[in-house]
Amino acid sequence: MLYLYGFVVDNNPDDYLMVHYPVEALRQLQSADIKMKLIEMQAELRCLLPTSLLDRGFFGTSTSSGEDDDNKKKHFSSYSWSGQRKVPSYLQKNVFPQEFLSTLRTIAMQEHELEQVASLLGEVGSSEDGEPSDAEIKSAIWEVCGDNGALGLLVDLLRVKMAELEEGTGTEASDSQLLEKFDSNDPDDSSSATVESIEATKSRVNRRSCIVYRRGQKQLTRMFLREAERLLELSAEEQI
C-alpha cells in the first residue's frame, strides 16, 4: 500500500492504483472547512486508476477514438464562463479522471482563488435551495484555477512518495537485480518433500512476492509520475 502524503495508493494483482485523500489530511489545509464543503458537493475523495489508463497517455501505445475525444471536449465545453479558459490541448492524453483532478483543484486552491470561486458561485445559484450545482462548482473552480495547481500537487506527491519508496527498499533497478539473483539461485526440485523443505519453499515464495510487490509499487508510481509531469509542463505553457 502506497501513501502519497494524504493519498493512499493501493496496487493489487488486478494492476490498479486506488487513490484516497483522508478527511484527516483535509482538516489541516488552509480554509479547510470551505474546501471540504466544496469537495463533498462535487467529487469523491477516492479514485480508481487502472494501469490500462497509461496506454492512452503520452507514453502509451493506444490512441483514443474520435468519439472519446468528442466526449471529453463536450465535458469541458461549459467549463469556462468567460471564454478565457480554453479546453486544454493535452485533454486527449490526460490519463487522470476529471473527477479526480477536480478534487485536486479544490485542495490546491489558494486563498485568493477561493475568493474568486466564491464570487463566481455567488452569481449563479440555479437550484431552488440556493446551493450551486455540481457542474457550476466544477466550472467555477476550473475557470479560476485551471490544472496547474492540481497537477503541481500531484507531481509533488508522487515525487516524494518515490523518494520514500527508494529510501526504504532501494531503487526499482535494485529490486530487479534482487529478483534476478533470487531466481538464479532457485533450488532444484527434490523428490522427497519434508516439512522443513515445504516451509522453506513457502518462505522463499513469500520473500519473492514481497520483492515483486514493492517493485510494482515503484513502477506504477514512476509511470503515473511521468504522465503527471508531462501534463504539468503543458499546463504551465497554457496558463493564463
Domains of the chain listed by start with CATH number: 1-56+91-238 (3.90.1420)
The pLDDT-based confidence of 99 (bands split at 50, 70, 90) is confident
- Which residue in 48, 37, 59, 64 sits closest to 11, CA to CA? 48
The pLDDT-based confidence of 21 (bands split at 50, 70, 90) is low
CA–CA dist 155, 70 (Å, integer): 27
Tell me the H-state helices in 4-97.
23-26, 32-42, 66-76
pLDDT digits (tens, 9 = 90+) for 131-180: 788 888 888 888 899 999 999 988 988 888 888 889 988 999 999 999 99
- Name the most confidently modeled range: 5-14, 26-35, 199-208: 199-208
The amino acid present at 42, given as its one-letter code, is Q
Q: Would you state the pLDDT for residue 6?
A: 45
| pLDDT of 224 strictly over 80 | yes
> Residue 126 has which C-alpha cell?
440555479
Residues β-bridged to residue 16: 50
Query: What Cα–Cα distance (Å) separates residue 14 from each residue in 173, 178, 181?
Result: 23, 24, 26
CB 159 within 8 A of CB 5: no
| pLDDT of 184 strictly over 80 | yes
- Which residue in 147, 133, 76 sits closest to 105, CA to CA? 147
- Residue 9 phi, psi (nearest 5): -120, 125
CB 175 within 8 A of CB 218: yes
Chain centroid offset of residue 22 CA:
14
Q: Would you state the pLDDT for residue 196?
A: 77
CA–CA dist 218, 171 (Å, integer): 8
Q: Would you state the pLDDT for residue 71?
A: 53
CB 120 within 8 A of CB 81: yes
CA–CA dist 93, 68 (Å, integer): 11
pTM of the model: 0.77
With a pLDDT cut of 90, the percent of the chain lying above it is 17
| pLDDT of 11 strictly over 50 | no
pLDDT digits (tens, 9 = 90+) for 192-201: 568 777 777 7
Higher local confidence (pLDDT), 89 or 124: 89
CB 3 within 8 A of CB 24: no
